[in-house]
Amino acid sequence: MIKIVLKKSSQKNLRNSISAFFLAAFLLCGCSGKSSKTIIRLQKMEENVGSPTTEAELKDAIKKYQDRVTDIQLANSQIGIWYKMLATRYLDAKMYGEALKTFQTAIQYYPANQNLFYYVGVCAGYMAKASLDFNASGGTSAEKFNYLKLAESAYLRAIELEPRYVRSLYGLGVLYVFELDQCEKAIPYLETALSVETKNTDIMFVLARAYYVEGQYDNAVSLYDKIISVTKSEQKKKSAEANKKIALDAYYAN
């Protein structure tokens, strides 16, 4: 009889191979409804853990399963990153529906990432514009409204995570002013954004518009004056001057 002696590393590799074989065979059998007992049995085979009883055996089993948890956490982290990368590719390609779904999936892996919520808001806004079906009365369709409310909730969640997150503050302001006709709600968010980026003329234009709609003509005029003084764009300067005149006319008319 020939006795084959394997080194410890070879024995471990052999065990891993056998475990992998049984796992693959199990999956190929189409046993999609596998029970928790079956999963535990397979895990024990993979880790060479039987029924530990002594202190040393229990510590060894705990260590092996802790390593499995770490592996899963690292894998989930990487999966989340790849979902974000894929969503960004969709966004770059202007495939807003696919980008929206993929960013939402990425949030399942990173639920406290304000950037992901911001991008959900952006994509939902684009999808709202793509919803062209209207009610018989000529009002906004339910689909469009749902996308707008999704954008609102996403921006709000991003701001909840990072109160001075300018992109979401600005995005929410634009949504309230130009889509939901809620300028009063937009003002505090835009004011916060402007307190962070004090020379951002895009924020100033939207905030001035909100002031004007709410009848705060003096505030609107002051903002248009500030735009005129800080911008290097002739187009923006002309636009600010024209809007300032409209605000002044409204101010004196009241």
Last residue of a domain, which of 162, 196, 217?
A: 162
pLDDT at position 75 is 78
- Tell me, what's the pLDDT at 24? 44
Q: Are 155 and 207 part of one and the same domain? A: no
The total of structural domains in the chain comes to: 2
Same domain for 220 and 145: no
Q: Is residue 10 assigned to a domain?
A: no
> Which domain covers residue 143, as residue numbers?
62-162
Asked whether residue 186 falls in the same domain as residue 149, the answer is no
* Buried/exposed code over 60-73 (b: 16+ C-beta within 10 A; e: otherwise): ebeebeeeeeeeee
Q: 27-41, 76-90, 120-134: which range is least confident on average?
A: 27-41
212 falls within a domain: yes
Q: What is the tens place of the pLDDT at every residue in 207-226? A: 999 999 999 999 999 999 99
Structural domain includes residue 14: no
Query: Do 148 and 191 fall within a single domain?
Result: no
pLDDT band at 135 (very low <50, low <70, confident <90, very high): low
Taking the chain, what is the end-to-end CA distance rounded to the nearest angstrom?
Answer: 109
**Within-domain flag for 3:** no
Same domain as 186, residue 136: no
Question: Are 137 and 200 members of one domain?
Answer: no
Residue 77 resides in a domain: yes
Is 90 exceeded by the pLDDT of residue 76?
no
**1-41 per-position pLDDT tens digit:** 434 444 444 444 444 444 444 444 444 444 444 565 554 55
> Model-level pTM?
0.73
- 69 plus 157 within the same structural domain: yes
